[in-house]
Structure 1
């Protein structure tokens, strides 16, 4: 049986895959802390729901063809560790590892580890 944290995390990545900012907002704490490689649009450390949504908007606009696939979600207590991959057409796959903290049923923090420079290079190649 899935835990509430597992369900929330899977919903989070489904919303990210769909690039749905309206659906993302209610999944985030008002004071959420989101950290992603600074080398990507919208990356760096963003604090607060509005800042995270702006970062997501920039990311979604810059990378409309990247697909997110979850390989493993391990949820325990108020934390989850997520392993997955980004697929960049036509032929690049980049692995990611994220750590998510949940508080009161919403995402309080997300720490994302992946090679942002490799993602940017793959997208430049895909664009021609």
Structure 2
């Protein structure tokens, strides 16, 4: 069974693997990112430019980092994903951390992401 249009947008977000040009094409200009405290650059970001310029800067802490969605669940204008972050720090430490993402979509674009995850594995991997 093919994905719904909402799940397709979210799946393309994950498939972008941090490619900011692709992310800009999938996220609304007035989007809001609500990232759990304790995650690198955790906090609330209003607007696509702030999301890209201020939040995604955390990627510089890793030699590789990606979000892998294992499950997709749709409810109206929301898509909920369960998955894991997988990365390697510049110091060579591997990290895996589970997450839940709650996306809200409007007119085929992501307008809100509420993220929660187990921040402890990431914090430990980034320790000096």
- The alignment's TM-score, normalised by the length of structure 1, stands at 0.84
Write out aligned runs for 1:22-37 (5 A). 22-37=21-36
Structure 2: segments with no counterpart, 5+ residues: none
C-alpha distance in structure 1 between counterparts of 2:21 and 2:55, whole Å:
11
> Any idea what the Cα deviations from partners look like across 1:44-77, whole Å, max 9, x if unmatched?
1001111111134312212332232211011232
RMSD: 1.9
C-alpha distance in structure 2 between counterparts of 1:95 and 1:55, whole Å:
23
Equivalent pair of 1:43/1:55 in contact (CA under 8 Å): no
Could you say which residue in structure 1 is the equivalent of 2:104?
Answer: 101
Could you say which residue in structure 1 is the equivalent of 2:58?
Answer: 59
C-alpha distance in structure 2 between counterparts of 1:100 and 1:93, whole Å:
21
Equivalent pair of 2:31/2:111 in contact (CA under 8 Å): yes
Structure 1: segments with no counterpart, 5+ residues: none
Could you say which residue in structure 2 is the equivalent of 1:116?
Answer: 119
- The alignment's TM-score, normalised by the length of structure 2, stands at 0.84
Could you say which residue in structure 2 is the equivalent of 1:2?
Answer: 3
Residue range with higher mean Cα deviation, 100-109 or 62-71: 62-71
Equivalent pair of 2:31/2:47 in contact (CA under 8 Å): yes
C-alpha distance in structure 2 between counterparts of 1:123 and 1:94, whole Å:
13
Tell me the matched-pair count: 123
C-alpha distance in structure 2 between counterparts of 1:63 and 1:111, whole Å:
22
> Any idea what the Cα deviations from partners look like across 1:21-51, whole Å, max 9, x if unmatched?
1111121111101011233333210011111
Q: Which aligned runs of 4 or more in structure 1 are off by greater than 6 angstroms?
A: none
C-alpha distance in structure 2 between counterparts of 1:7 and 1:93, whole Å:
25
Q: Which has the higher strand share?
A: 2
Q: Which has the higher helix share?
A: 1
